[in-house]
Amino acid sequence: MLVARFLQGDESSFDGLVVRHRLGVYRLAYRLLGSHEEADDVAQEAFLRAYRGLPGFRGDATFRTWITRIVINLALSVRRERASLVPLKDAPEMRRQADGPETALRGQVRRAVGGLPPRQRQVLILKVYEGMKFTEIAQAAGMSVGTAKATFFQAVRKLRARLAPPAGAQGEEV
């Protein structure tokens, strides 16, 4: 509805698209990049590109899927630009002393997800954190539905292996 209104010349309807999608766009950018500053920049650029590109929007996908693809492409560009910097998984971890086991576990999961190959990380984030269907993921990531499913399950397998406790570590006393 908002896209159609925009395409009919009602430029103010784009504000509604921004309001509706800004949190999701920012969250996705943050999950892909791990930096609030970069996520802000990517979100702003994604909406700018969407505004400029919307007249050419064919409607083959939903606006959400389309802007998700824009965010993914921008995040990949940012990651390529900073490839010479210390990778997130190798950066020293800063933790407060008061952090409990839940916070530590969240950190382990975040590092494990961050250590996945980029394509697996994207698909996992879109499925688990964004709640997208495999058909939407396939459209947004430019792959077939079967590839999206296979990539997701490969990512899950890797996460299980990385997060599994060492053999003999469950409840045994030393």
Q: Is residue 32 part of a domain?
A: yes
Task: Answer yes or no: do 74 and 117 share one domain.
Answer: no
67 Cα distance to chain centroid: 12
Q: Report the C-alpha gap between 83 and 32 in whole angstroms.
A: 14
Task: Answer yes or no: do 35 and 71 share one domain.
Answer: yes
Q: Report the C-alpha gap between 18 and 23 in whole angstroms.
A: 9
Q: Report the C-alpha gap between 154 and 13 in whole angstroms.
A: 40
The dihedral sign for the CA sequence 16, 17, 20, 26: negative
Q: Is residue 11 part of a domain?
A: yes
Tell if the pTM clears 0.85, that is, is over it: no
Give the count of domains, the chain. Answer: 2
Task: Answer yes or no: do 50 and 120 share one domain.
Answer: no
The dihedral sign for the CA sequence 51, 53, 59, 63: negative
Task: Answer yes or no: do 2 and 68 share one domain.
Answer: yes
The whole domain housing 117 covers 108-165
pLDDT in tens for each of the 174 residues of the chain?
888 888 888 889 999 999 999 999 999 999 988 899 999 999 999 999 999 999 888 888 899 999 999 999 999 888 878 764 545 454 444 444 445 667 777 788 888 888 899 899 999 999 998 888 999 899 888 899 999 999 999 999 999 998 887 766 555 444
